[in-house]
A and B are shown apart, each in its own frame.
Chain A
Amino acid sequence: MPLREYAAIGDGRTSAFVAGDGSLEWLCLPDLDSPSIFAAVLDAETGGSFSFAPEQPFATERRYLPDTNVLETTFETATGSVRVTDAMLLPDGGLVPTRELARRVEGLSGEVPMRWRVEPRFHYGKRTPRIGRREGTPVATAGGDALAVSSWAAGAPVLGDGSIGGSFVSTAGSAALVVLSSAHREPLVLPSRADAESRLSSTISFWRQWSADRTYRGPWRDAVIRSALVLKLLIHSPSGAIAAAGTASLPEQIGGERNWDYRFCWVRDSAFTLHALMQLGCPHEGESYFWWLLHASQLTHPRLRVLYRLNGSERTPESTLPLSGYRGSEPVRIGNGAGGQEQLDVYGDLMQTAWLYATAADGLDADTARRLAEIADLVCEIWRLPDSGIWEVRSEPLHFTHSKIMCWVALDRAVRLAERGLIPRAQMSRWRAEAEEVRGFIEELCWSEEARSYTRAAGSRELDASLLLGALMDYPSERDPGLSTTISALRRELGSGPLLDRYSGEDGVEGKEGAFLCCSFWLADALARAGRVDEAAELTEQLIGLANDVGLYAEEIDQGSGAFLGNLPQGLVHLALINAAVSIGEAQR
């Protein structure tokens, strides 16, 4: 199934991915970064899935119920049509299952024979479940995990070898319901139909109200609100952390080895995240996220890890799974080895995040202020070192220009915070002097007169789309005010229509990847800030047309076929969309 065909539903703890044919092919339980119970997207044979479709040929049409994360798929067949509503149910205060996923089938016209089959494969397909019944309800268990399959008007459940399924005929006006309820290290809670139906209604109401509460009033509101809903899906509700994407190991090149686990929170995304949350009118999510970030980074202070687990842990060891991979793309990786890399840009991201938070909240507590000052001191010590850069290259560390720009951002924001009296001022003159030295390094060593552009790294001729972030972070270029000629060079050398490659040159990994969608939205954002508003709006219009049928983006897109590549839905792309729309809206006013 093409990656473009997947839609996500979720509950703020985990997300399930439904393919265009109604098959649910990715779900991790109990949390987004837990092992999977369905992973057919990575291995149709052993990954496990929950299929639900007519028994005869069909065509489908999908949408999210307006302003919700509830998916609606309409199946049209020769004998009639049915509508399947998929949702992860939100708890309503009573005794409810740990996680609950509902699939409701309504007969719209005629008679449609339907078949469903749940094939749970716990722990990334490693554990085949024991199938049994509890009080008549089919359950699948494996070790400390269990899944109950409750069904009403969906045919008598048939228990097979590792599967639970049923079939029934959906007639016009009928309604069937199948609910998966999971338990992890505790007994199962088995829902009644009335309660599950009630929670489905309240879940729809919650999402609609949440969307209605967003304060964004700028251009492309539908796409922005869809992106906000995607972010809400990726927010780990107990901590406020935001996962980079909902999936693991979906390939950046079909058949290639660029398969990474994105179910972690990257510090790199923090400034974009807080900015977007503030623009959307999500103060609670913004505050939770900022405090989670400070809490997670406390153990390694003043050093920052590149990424953290959603619960704040810094351990993200990388390993491979014995799965065949999406269309044979091996290895299938979980965990992320980039967690141990040195990436200097994260200090700039954190300080920019702190700047956004502190200026909005008009204050910081004394302990946070002291920690931020210590981080600025650390940047003074380490900015001269080479690093792996924002793109986490696995080749030798370099003096990446973007990393240096972000070191300048870290020191500049520290100075600004100190000038406002928000953090201690004792080292302010040192930060200011070091910031000037960083800028001198960039201006002297990271510029190509031939390309009329800043370069990927010091002494290099290669280009890198991350340079666009210099414009977004207000880097005061001497050679290229507003980064105008750099923007043109990037479009010329890395661009293809509305798309941009990340960079030219080596990165230490075999194969070639697709165009990086967030870079295109950064380009639109940078164009708007450079005053090229019509160009920015035209580009954004084109990019919004590249989303899938329900408004989601993967990390990358194939320049030739337009196929999605990489993990999805990619938080950074949706963040970049929101921020670009905001910038263009402001520039148009």
Chain B
Amino acid sequence: MSVWGAVAGGFVGTLVLTTALRAAGELGLTRMDLPFLLGTIVTSDRSRAKALGYAMHFAAGLLFALIYFGIFAAIGHSGWLLGALFGLLHGLFAGTALVNVLLPVVHPRMGTPFSAAADRPLLEAPGFMMLNYGRRTPLATILAHIAYGTIVGGFVSLAS
């Protein structure tokens, strides 16, 4: 098992995840835009937000790949199938807690269940399983994360 495999898998996996979600957006399946959501944490400029958001998303992708690697190392087993399972859990976590609950808490421009449309623009909150961004959002998100996990697991395994 090699940490470099996890880094490479994290990079390629994030590339695929981002591309898949962008394609889902273009196909009208979802309004979720992760780079936009992440970038607007630090800037209200749309263009800059998207550029920064892509960088932040890649950093997050690498971080999660290292977490995957840590779990693989702890249980002494890795592989694309296990990675896919992690990806499924990761996708569910993203939809239920990470983007739904934690992101609104730290996002200065996103509404929460406790905020009212007060003195500044608020980004539409994602809602449970990000369903606010379209009914097919959970499907698109989970499939994209399964692809991510499969790639990370596969790369870690190949680099063993």
Query: What secondary structure prevails in chain B residues at the interface with A?
Result: loop
Let me know if B117 and A194 touch, CB within 8 A.
no
For the complex, what is the distance from the CA of A451 to the CA of B24, rounded to whole Å? Answer: 63
Let me know if B116 and A136 touch, CB within 8 A.
yes
For the complex, what is the distance from the CA of A188 to the CA of B122, rounded to whole Å? Answer: 8
Query: Which residues of A are found within 8 Å of B79, using beta-carbon distances?
Result: none
- List 24 interface pairs A-B (beta carbons < 8 Å), by A numbering: A95-B44, A95-B45, A95-B46, A95-B123, A134-B127, A135-B115, A135-B116, A135-B117, A135-B125, A137-B117, A144-B25, A145-B28, A146-B31, A184-B31, A185-B26, A185-B28, A187-B124, A187-B126, A187-B133, A191-B117, A192-B117, A192-B119, A195-B119, A195-B120
Let me know if A192 and B118 touch, CB within 8 A.
yes
Q: Which residue of B lies closest to A184 (CB)?
A: B31
Given the known A-B contacts A185-B26, A186-B36, are A194 and B31 also in contact in the complex, defined by CB atoms under 8 Å?
A: no
CB 8 Å contact bits of A69-99 with B (1 = contact, 0 = none): 0000000000000000000000001111100
The smallest C-beta distance from A565 to any residue of chain B, in angstroms, reads 35
CB 8 Å contact bits of B26-46 with A (1 = contact, 0 = none): 111111110011001000111
Query: Which residues of B are found within 8 Å of A185, using beta-carbon distances?
Result: 25-26, 28, 30-31, 33
A141 at the interface (CB under 8 A from B): yes
Interface size class of B (residues with CB under 8 A): 35 or more
Query: Which residues of A are found within 8 Å of B134, using beta-carbon distances?
Result: 141, 143-144
For the complex, what is the distance from the CA of A137 to the CA of B115, rounded to whole Å? Answer: 11
The smallest C-beta distance from A495 to any residue of chain B, in angstroms, reads 50
Query: Which residues of A are found within 8 Å of B122, using beta-carbon distances?
Result: 135, 189-190, 192
Let me know if B121 and A186 touch, CB within 8 A.
no
B29, B118, B124: the one contacting A188 at CB < 8 Å is: B124
The smallest C-beta distance from A219 to any residue of chain B, in angstroms, reads 43
For the complex, what is the distance from the CA of A307 to the CA of B109, rounded to whole Å? Answer: 42
For the complex, what is the distance from the CA of A191 to the CA of B122, rounded to whole Å? Answer: 7
A139 at the interface (CB under 8 A from B): yes
A148 at the interface (CB under 8 A from B): yes
Report A135-159 residues with CB < 8 Å from chain B CB.
135-137, 139, 141, 143-146, 148, 150
For the complex, what is the distance from the CA of A146 to the CA of B31, rounded to whole Å? Answer: 8
The smallest C-beta distance from A286 to any residue of chain B, in angstroms, reads 25
Let me know if A134 and B111 touch, CB within 8 A.
yes
For the complex, what is the distance from the CA of A187 to the CA of B121, rounded to whole Å? Answer: 12
Query: Which residues of A are found within 8 Å of B116, using beta-carbon distances?
Result: 135-136
Query: Which residues of B are found within 8 Å of A184, using beta-carbon distances?
Result: 31
Most buried by A among B30, B45, B118, B132: B132
For the complex, what is the distance from the CA of A48 to the CA of B49, rounded to whole Å? Answer: 33
Query: Which residues of B are found within 8 Å of A139, using beta-carbon distances?
Result: 124
For the complex, what is the distance from the CA of A194 to the CA of B113, rounded to whole Å? Answer: 21
Let me know if A186 and B31 touch, CB within 8 A.
yes
The smallest C-beta distance from A361 to any residue of chain B, in angstroms, reads 29
For the complex, what is the distance from the CA of A94 to the CA of B108, rounded to whole Å? Answer: 14
Let me know if A189 and B121 touch, CB within 8 A.
yes
Let me know if B119 and A183 touch, CB within 8 A.
no
Given the known A-B contacts A95-B109, A186-B31, A187-B32, are A148 and B120 also in contact in the complex, defined by CB atoms under 8 Å?
A: no
For the complex, what is the distance from the CA of A94 to the CA of B43, rounded to whole Å? Answer: 9
Let me know if B37 and A187 touch, CB within 8 A.
yes
Query: Which residues of B are found within 8 Å of A183, using beta-carbon distances?
Result: 31, 124
For the complex, what is the distance from the CA of A135 to the CA of B123, rounded to whole Å? Answer: 10
CB 8 Å contact bits of B8-29 with A (1 = contact, 0 = none): 0000000000000000011111
Given the known A-B contacts A143-B28, A146-B124, are A187 and B111 also in contact in the complex, defined by CB atoms under 8 Å?
A: no
The smallest C-beta distance from B93 to any residue of chain A, in angstroms, reads 20
For the complex, what is the distance from the CA of A144 to the CA of B48, rounded to whole Å? Answer: 22
The smallest C-beta distance from B159 to any residue of chain A, in angstroms, reads 36
Query: Which residues of B are found within 8 Å of A194, using beta-carbon distances?
Result: 119
Let me know if A191 and B121 touch, CB within 8 A.
yes
Query: Which residues of A are found within 8 Å of B26, using beta-carbon distances?
Result: 185
The smallest C-beta distance from B110 to any residue of chain A, in angstroms, reads 8
- Known contacts A144-B25, A187-B132; 16 additional CB pairs below 8 A are A93-B45, A95-B109, A134-B125, A143-B28, A143-B29, A143-B134, A144-B29, A145-B31, A146-B124, A185-B25, A186-B32, A187-B37, A189-B123, A190-B121, A190-B122, A192-B122
B117, B132, B133: the one contacting A136 at CB < 8 Å is: B117
B37, B45, B49, B111: the one contacting A135 at CB < 8 Å is: B111
CB 8 Å contact bits of B122-147 with A (1 = contact, 0 = none): 11111100001110000000000000
